[in-house]
Structure 1
Amino acid sequence: MKQFLKFTFASCLGFLLSFFTICIIVAIVIVATVTGFSSKQITVAPNSVLKIEFNGVLKEQARDMSFFDAWSSTNITELGIHDIIKSIQHAKTDENIVGIWLQMDLFSAGNASISEIRDALVDFKKSGKFIIAYGDNYTQQLYYLATVADKIFIHPSGTIELKGLASKPIFFKNALQKVGVDMQVVKVGDYKGAPEMYTNNAMSDENKAQTKNIINQLWRKMCTNIASERNISIEQIESLVEKSVMFAPTKSYVTEGLVDSLLYPDELVSYFKTHIDNTYNEEEQMVSYGDYIVLASQNKSNNNKIAVLYANGGIDDGDIEGIDSEELSKLLSETRKDSSIKAVVLRINSPGGSAFGAERIWRETSLFKGVKPLVVSMGDYAASGGYYIATQADSIFSNTETLTGSIGIFGIIPNFSKISEKFGITYDPQTTHTLADFPSFTRDMTTFERNILERYITDNYQLFLHRCSEGRSITKAALLPLAGGRVWTGSDALTHGLVDKIGGLQQAIQSAARMASITSYEVEHLPKKKTVWESMLEDTTIQIQSLLTKNIPLHEYRLIRSFIDNKTRIIIQARMEENSEIW
């Protein structure tokens, strides 16, 4: 028996040693591969074309492919908006780049982000270099982006989606009632549409009016720019939209002026030989965006720095990619105290979230006054809590398509008592005081409790108004018609004084440099991208959580944990409606 145990132990030990040895070897191979890639020498031949493939998802900061991504069959490519713009700007002055090829595939991005890339391409054309666009099938968003090109090509069997804009929010009131969940909502602001998905079966009149205004504005700009670039009338575009151009014969796109020619992919090489050089070699003179960004990102070291801080996603909503108010506040504090950082640009792409989290971030932004410039750059969204954290900036830049404002607060307490009854679960709380178990998710609020919550929500709304009034130098009387939860486009926000200028991140950085009186500087993006090891650790954690909570989506699991950890912060929200994506 002793001998058997000895052999068994030796076998197990040998297995474990072999396992760890293999893990170490695999880790070394991964690190060596990544290190080799990052140190790869990129050279650009004369008369080269930069190819940017719009495929995947657009992010503020795209993460590098991790170990699990490489082995995943469902991996989705991430592109960083500012990496794309940086590449375009670098190509503008690169004497070896003669033009850009926009390859249009399946791509997900916000309207303001597409506009920001489009503006960068418009600026690129001032160099006299060409832009061509090619796609098998163009989504409406990518067709709009493609219209900046000198030539638009499409596959002979391809389609163009051009149909106007729509917003189609979803409502859960009846579904929640059927399963026995009652969402108890208290809100301030007739236009505050975020909680309507739980309390209504359709949009309120106020929310419907503001949504119509937004989509009409966005469509007018899109339609005007398409007409101008393609040299066709707005009336003609409207006519094509009404006739459902997506199902029209592909050859009609040429006669209608939507594209310049029908080409198969291999015919593009012939086009480049004709318009660049008859010796053009695709393998040597086609540089991919993935390679080119390595060149474009090579910053020279400088003692003067401008820090770009990213505030992306919901505030304290449990999402791994959202804003952690504690972490962002810490980062703001560190950059404020860092003498090498002469100015800070806060890039906000957030619909808001926890009112407490927004106030915590606001406090750190307020401490910049008199210390160093703080400039805000708004992405697709900077609404409600996302606008709250912008109010102390010395200057706010917004895109025309940015959705902002939504100055309002709401509180939401779910009541799961009916669903509990269905499973025979009952509660019998014993308390020392009247409000000892408030807020509770297992019963209706009493009138007394609702009055308390309403007063609390009203006080928070007044604080929100004060922050906006003070930060934007607008009287409360002038601010009230702009508040009440109302969402504004960047264009309207500029008119009403909620933002200072129309422009993207690059314009915000340049403005921050002028405020800091520096002409030479290095841009530092924070938080920094995770290392390979950090990404592997994060992915491993996600995999473990997924196994432990396989019947609950990971985001919902974290949100439930947030509810448990701190009820009040989750209940009180400064958030814009998120389920009404415009497409």
Structure 2
Amino acid sequence: MNFFKNFLASVLGTLTAFVLFFVFILLMISATASILIAPSSTKSVESQSVLDLNLNVSITDRNPSFDEIQVLFELDDDILGLPEIISAINKAAENPNIEGIRLRSDYISAGWSQTRSIRNALKNFKLKGKFIYSYADMFTQKGYYLASVADSIFLNPLGMIEFKGLASEVMYYKDFQDEYGVKMEVVRMGKYKSAVEPYLENEMSPANRFQIKSVLTDLWETLRDEIGKDRNLSPDTLDLIINEQRIATPKDALTENLIDALGYELDLENLIQKRLRKEGTESLRFATVNDVNEAASSYNSEVKERIAVLYAKGPILYGEGTQSTIAQGVFVETLQELAKDDWVKAVVLRIDSPGGSALTSELLWQIIHALKQQKPVLVSMGNVAASGGYYIATGADHIFADPLTITGSIGVFASLPNLSGLVENLGIHVETVETHPDALGYSVFQPMSKAFESQMEKGIENTYSTFKQRVAEGRNLDESQVETLAQGRVWTGKQAVANGLIDSISGLQETVIAAAKLVHLENYNQIDYPKFEESLASVFSGMSLSVGLDKLWKILLPNQFKPQWNNFQESNPAARMQLLLPYELTIH
């Protein structure tokens, strides 16, 4: 027995020593990296340089946090933030040493709204008389949409180009549920609240088909018209190219004037050399996004006044909140701090969320509404700001969005997983003993009782009514107007500005400028929030020596089921009520 005790103690001691040594090494590397990469002075860009804008990387709505280890080992080049991309383009436009841009956008990972923001920045760059040349081995439709702004587009002769219009696919599970006894119990409010439709039907309802077609048509019209304007092709011509399926090879794209040349990256570089009047022996000078941004600092230490940009990204959950989820914990605390900060003159809330917890949405609305009594609050919508994402936006003074933003979805639902059919098929019988009628509430092993369903309906009706009141108050609309725009229907940004759900079409930087004008600021610093503290606890929070069945279940569970599963696990019943986008709108 003593042998095993000594053996286990030795193993535990060895593991502890190893972990401490590992942490020490990490700290040493981080400290060394901080010293090595600390900027000694502002960098400069050489004359006749070209901005090398390679967007075939991960693109986030907020600039990635600074990590000394990633920078030291050059691991940070695989992630770019939307603000730093647009900042580099704008600074390159004003920098006399930068002549043009070499663009790569084969398979851009950004959303449609983010991609359009980059495209707008590139259009402004061209107004300075500078060139943009694009090359791709292959073009996704989104990548081509961005590249279509270029002066010349090169495509690999053996590559491919996607130009086919837009489509969205929705899966239905009713037969699957009936077959295997696993189902979702559903209560909903809103004619178009179709997040739960796949659990109830085997085919798409006319209302859902109508709203999806409306959204896709409006999005396509924006994309098609902007491509046509820059390629000198009419909308009818572009639609005809797709309807007649004329694009099968790169040569077809050249024939139809979608691109300018078939060639390789070397051919593009030869074109740049010719444009810069360089001899064949002279090498081209390329500047990265970081090079351009570091050549002209955006922060002015002599200016105290600030515009705060608060990033709210991801599903809305009840809890603390992270960089990829929105919750009342960190966001309420941050908004309260911004209210007290005299240097912060206005707040821009950047929302990129399909919605989520109704309770958390209301908590966030309350604090945003209170903040705007002290200083202006403006909302900038990203790729999506729907349902709960739109709910919190209504607390602001002004709402801005992109034409390609998905918003609206004013409706409520609750869905709870139920395994009663499965356990019955397996021969498992469940019995209940209660002190009062319906004391059990909801059980995953029994069908939803009428009493519980009635309670859920009342709660959802109350939440839906409150949601509509928030919209009516925030958008200065009467309740009858709100009802026609509600019922869970989804709108594009262009449709939303026409029906009064938002104020204007603008990107994030335009919203920041609007906030500065509102408080009469010419000079200010833009500061990003929330501030997430990095600690050893957060570093190791995702590490585990074992993978439980709950984690395996989450890995196997389809993405669209995960919000319902997470909220079913919540101990707070109010978290089960969802203000969520009616479906996972994946646009192909």
TM-score, structure 2 as length reference = 0.90
Q: Which amino acid aligns with 2:581?
A: M
**TM-aligned CA deviation for residue 568 of structure 1:** 1.7
Could you tell me whether the CA contact under 8 Å between 2:45 and 2:291 is conserved in 1?
Answer: no
Give the secondary structure class of the aligned counterpart of 1:194: helix
Give the secondary structure class of the aligned counterpart of 1:551: helix
Question: In the alignment, what sits opposite 1:434?
Answer: 437
Question: In the alignment, what sits opposite 2:116?
Answer: 115
Q: Which amino acid aligns with 1:404?
A: T
Q: Cα deviations across residues 507-537 of structure 1 (Å, max 9, x unaligned)?
A: 1111111122211110001123665xx4x75
Question: In the alignment, what sits opposite 2:328?
Answer: 325
2:580 to 572, 575, 579: 575
Question: In the alignment, what sits opposite 1:338?
Answer: 341
Q: Cα deviations across residues 484-507 of structure 1 (Å, max 9, x unaligned)?
A: 111111111111111111101111
For 2:253 and 2:10, how far apart are their aligned partners in 1?
Answer: 73
For 1:372 and 1:234, how far apart are their aligned partners in 2?
Answer: 44
Q: Cα deviations across residues 299-357 of structure 1 (Å, max 9, x unaligned)?
A: 12221011100111110079962212322122111111211111000001111101001
**TM-aligned CA deviation for residue 540 of structure 1:** 3.1
Q: Which amino acid aligns with 2:338?
A: T
Give the secondary structure class of the aligned counterpart of 1:206: helix
For 1:174 and 1:4, how far apart are their aligned partners in 2?
Answer: 55
For 2:457 and 2:2, how far apart are their aligned partners in 1?
Answer: 73
Could you tell me whether the CA contact under 8 Å between 2:241 and 2:247 is conserved in 1?
Answer: no
For 1:11 and 1:409, how far apart are their aligned partners in 2?
Answer: 53
For 1:565 and 1:200, how far apart are their aligned partners in 2?
Answer: 27
Alignment of 1:418-433 (within 5 A): 418-433=421-436
Question: In the alignment, what sits opposite 2:190?
Answer: 189
Q: Which amino acid aligns with 2:277?
A: D
Give the secondary structure class of the aligned counterpart of 2:473: helix
Question: In the alignment, what sits opposite 1:463?
Answer: 466
Question: In the alignment, what sits opposite 1:477?
Answer: 480
Q: Does 1:443 align with 2:435?
A: no
Give the secondary structure class of the aligned counterpart of 1:480: helix
Question: In the alignment, what sits opposite 2:527?
Answer: 524
Question: In the alignment, what sits opposite 1:81?
Answer: 82
Alignment of 1:291-440 (within 5 A): 291-295=291-295, 298-301=298-301, 302-316=303-317, 321-440=324-443
Q: Name the CA shift for 1:294/1:422 in 2 (closer, same or farther; >3 Å).
A: farther
Q: Name the CA shift for 1:220/1:562 in 2 (closer, same or farther; >3 Å).
A: closer
Q: Cα deviations across residues 103-132 of structure 1 (Å, max 9, x unaligned)?
A: 123332221111111111112222111111
For 2:474 and 2:566, how far apart are their aligned partners in 1?
Answer: 34
Q: Name the CA shift for 1:418/1:15 in 2 (closer, same or farther; >3 Å).
A: closer
Question: In the alignment, what sits opposite 2:491?
Answer: 488
Q: Name the CA shift for 1:545/1:502 in 2 (closer, same or farther; >3 Å).
A: farther
For 2:408 and 2:26, how far apart are their aligned partners in 1?
Answer: 49
**TM-aligned CA deviation for residue 296 of structure 1:** 5.6
**TM-aligned CA deviation for residue 382 of structure 1:** 0.9
Question: In the alignment, what sits opposite 1:132?
Answer: 133
**TM-aligned CA deviation for residue 22 of structure 1:** 5.5
**TM-aligned CA deviation for residue 390 of structure 1:** 0.6
Q: Which moved more, 1:421-430 or 1:173-182?
A: 421-430
Q: Which amino acid aligns with 2:209?
A: K
Could you tell me whether the CA contact under 8 Å between 1:153 and 1:263 is conserved in 2?
Answer: yes
For 1:296 and 1:439, how far apart are their aligned partners in 2?
Answer: 59
Could you tell me whether the CA contact under 8 Å between 1:87 and 1:296 is conserved in 2?
Answer: no
Question: In the alignment, what sits opposite 1:24?
Answer: 24
2:569 to 540, 564, 577: 564
Q: Name the CA shift for 1:454/1:396 in 2 (closer, same or farther; >3 Å).
A: same
**TM-aligned CA deviation for residue 82 of structure 1:** 1.7
Q: Which amino acid aligns with 2:586?
A: E
For 1:581 and 1:431, how far apart are their aligned partners in 2?
Answer: 45
Q: Does 1:201 align with 2:206?
A: no
Q: Which amino acid aligns with 2:580?
A: R
Could you tell me whether the CA contact under 8 Å between 1:131 and 1:150 is conserved in 2?
Answer: yes
**TM-aligned CA deviation for residue 178 of structure 1:** 2.9
**TM-aligned CA deviation for residue 430 of structure 1:** 2.2
Give the secondary structure class of the aligned counterpart of 1:573: strand
Could you tell me whether the CA contact under 8 Å between 1:104 and 1:136 is conserved in 2?
Answer: no
For 1:4 and 1:434, how far apart are their aligned partners in 2?
Answer: 54
Question: In the alignment, what sits opposite 1:270?
Answer: 270
Q: Name the CA shift for 1:459/1:25 in 2 (closer, same or farther; >3 Å).
A: closer
**TM-aligned CA deviation for residue 297 of structure 1:** 5.7
**TM-aligned CA deviation for residue 26 of structure 1:** 4.3
For 1:218 and 1:376, how far apart are their aligned partners in 2?
Answer: 21
For 1:86 and 1:345, how far apart are their aligned partners in 2?
Answer: 17
CA RMSD of aligned residues (A): 3.3
Q: Which amino acid aligns with 2:183?
A: D
Q: Cα deviations across residues 211-255 of structure 1 (Å, max 9, x unaligned)?
A: 11111111112111111111123233223213434423x233223
**TM-aligned CA deviation for residue 257 of structure 1:** 1.0
Could you tell me whether the CA contact under 8 Å between 2:330 and 2:530 is conserved in 1?
Answer: no
For 1:348 and 1:430, how far apart are their aligned partners in 2?
Answer: 46
Q: Cα deviations across residues 351-409 of structure 1 (Å, max 9, x unaligned)?
A: 11010010010000110233000000011111111110011211110111111111111
Could you tell me whether the CA contact under 8 Å between 1:86 and 1:296 is conserved in 2?
Answer: no
Question: In the alignment, what sits opposite 1:454?
Answer: 457
For 2:462 and 2:527, how far apart are their aligned partners in 1?
Answer: 38
For 2:137 and 2:329, how far apart are their aligned partners in 1?
Answer: 45
For 1:578 and 1:229, how far apart are their aligned partners in 2?
Answer: 33
**TM-aligned CA deviation for residue 421 of structure 1:** 3.2
For 2:553 and 2:280, how far apart are their aligned partners in 1?
Answer: 54
Question: In the alignment, what sits opposite 1:174?
Answer: 175
**TM-aligned CA deviation for residue 10 of structure 1:** 9.0
Q: Which amino acid aligns with 1:411?
A: A
Q: Does 1:289 align with 2:292?
A: no
Could you tell me whether the CA contact under 8 Å between 2:316 and 2:326 is conserved in 1?
Answer: yes
Aligned residues: 578
Q: Which moved more, 1:558-567 or 1:447-456?
A: 558-567
Q: Name the CA shift for 1:232/1:482 in 2 (closer, same or farther; >3 Å).
A: same
Q: Which moved more, 1:142-151 or 1:111-120?
A: 111-120
Question: In the alignment, what sits opposite 1:91?
Answer: 92
Give the secondary structure class of the aligned counterpart of 1:99: strand
Q: Name the CA shift for 1:427/1:162 in 2 (closer, same or farther; >3 Å).
A: same
For 1:384 and 1:327, how far apart are their aligned partners in 2?
Answer: 21
Could you tell me whether the CA contact under 8 Å between 2:106 and 2:144 is conserved in 1?
Answer: no
For 2:469 and 2:53, how far apart are their aligned partners in 1?
Answer: 45
For 1:416 and 1:11, how far apart are their aligned partners in 2?
Answer: 43
Give the secondary structure class of the aligned counterpart of 1:375: strand
For structure 2, which runs of at least 5 residues remain unmatched after alignment?
none
For structure 1, which runs of at least 5 residues remain unmatched after alignment?
none
Q: Which amino acid aligns with 1:447?
A: K
Q: Name the CA shift for 1:553/1:317 in 2 (closer, same or farther; >3 Å).
A: farther
Give the secondary structure class of the aligned counterpart of 2:434: coil
For 2:343 and 2:334, how far apart are their aligned partners in 1?
Answer: 15
Q: Which moved more, 1:351-360 or 1:433-442?
A: 433-442
Could you tell me whether the CA contact under 8 Å between 2:417 and 2:565 is conserved in 1?
Answer: no
Q: Cα deviations across residues 43-88 of structure 1 (Å, max 9, x unaligned)?
A: 311111111111233321253587998999x999433212211111
Q: Name the CA shift for 1:281/1:508 in 2 (closer, same or farther; >3 Å).
A: farther
